[in-house]
Amino acid sequence: MPAIAIEAAGLTKDFEKGRRTVWQRLRRERDRRERFRAVDGVDLHVEAGEIFGILGPNGAGKTTTMRMLATLLEPTSGQATVLGHDLVTEARAIRRRLGAVLSGERSLYWKLTARENLEYFAALYHVPPAETKGRIAEILEIVHLTDRADDYVEKYSTGMRQRLVLARALLPAPSLLLLDEPTVGLDPQAARDLRERVVQLREEGRTVLLTTHYMEEADQLCDRIAIVDHGRIVALDTPAGLKRDLNATEVVRLELHGPERSDAALVARLESAGQVAQRTRENGTLHLTVHCQSARELVPLVIDAARAEDAELANIQVQPVSLEDVFISLTGRALRE
Partner 1 sequence: MNAASVIADARAFWAATRKEWRILRRYPGNLLSFIFWPIALPLAYVFQAQAFSGGRDDTMAAFMERTGTNEVAGFLFVGWATYMWLSIVLWGPGTALRTEQIRGSLEAIFLTPASRLVVLFGPAISQLVWAVWIFVVVGVALWIGFGVSIGPVEALRALTVIVVGVPALYAIGALFGAVVLRFGEVHALVQGVRGLFTAVCGMSFPIIVLPDWAQVVALSLPPTYLIADLRAVLLTGSGVGRILGDLAILAGMGAVLAVAAVVAFRRTELHARRGGRLAQY
How many other C-beta atoms can be found within 10 angstroms of the C-beta atom of residue 71?
19
Size, binding site for partner 1 by CB under 8 A? 36
Cβ nearer to partner 1, comparing 15 with 138: 15
User: In this chain, which of 11, 80, 100, 143 binds partner 1, going by CB under 8 A?
Assistant: 100
- Residue 135's nearest CA partner among 60, 113, 143 is 143
CB 44 within 8 A of CB 17: no
User: Can residue 11 be called a binding residue for partner 1 (CB under 8 A)?
Assistant: no
- Written as one letter, the residue type at 12 is T
Burial per residue of 261-297, b for 16 or more beta-carbon CB atoms within 10 angstroms, e otherwise: ebbeebbebbeebbebbbbeeeeeebebbbbbeebee
For partner 1, the binding residues in 168-227 under the rule CB under 8 A are 168, 172
| 126 touches partner 1 by CB under 8 A | yes
By the rule CB under 8 A, 36 interacts with partner 1: no
Q: Does 96 bind partner 1 (CB under 8 A)?
A: yes
DSSP letters along 189-228, please? HHHHHHHHHHHHHHHTT-EEEEEES-HHHHHHH-SEEEEE
Q: How far apart are the C-alpha atoms of 222 and 53, rounded to whole Å? A: 6
Q: Position 161: which residue type?
A: R
Q: Which residues inside 152-171 make contact with partner 1, applying CB under 8 A?
A: 168
- Judged by beta carbon, residue 95 or residue 195, the one nearer partner 1 is 95
Q: What would the x/- binding string for partner 1 be over residues 49 to 88, using CB under 8 A? A: ---------------x--x--xxxxx--------------
Told to check if 112 binds partner 1 by CB under 8 A, we report: yes
Residue 90 found at the interface with partner 1 (CB under 8 A): no
Residue from 42, 83, 108, 305 binding partner 1 (CB under 8 A): 108
Shortest Å, Cβ 165 to partner 1: 8
For residue 11, the tally of other CB atoms under 10 A from its CB is 25
Selected from 123, 137, 199, 303, the binder of partner 1 by CB under 8 A is: 123
Residue 199: CB minimum distance to partner 1, A: 23
DSSP states along 98-163: EEEE-SGGGGS-TTSBHHHHHHHHHHHTT--HHHHHHHHHHHHHHTT-GGGTTSBGGGS-HHHHHH
Among 92, 203, 260, 261, binds partner 1 (CB under 8 A): 92
Distance CA 283, CA 129 (A): 66
For partner 1, give the closer residue by CB, 76 or 146. Answer: 76
* Shortest distance, position 312 Cβ to partner 1, whole Å: 51
> What backbone torsions phi and psi does residue 166 show, to the nearest 5 degrees?
-65, -40
Q: Which residues bind partner 1 (CB under 8 A)?
A: 15-16, 64, 67, 70-74, 92-93, 95-96, 98, 100, 102-104, 106-109, 111-112, 116, 119-126, 129, 168, 172
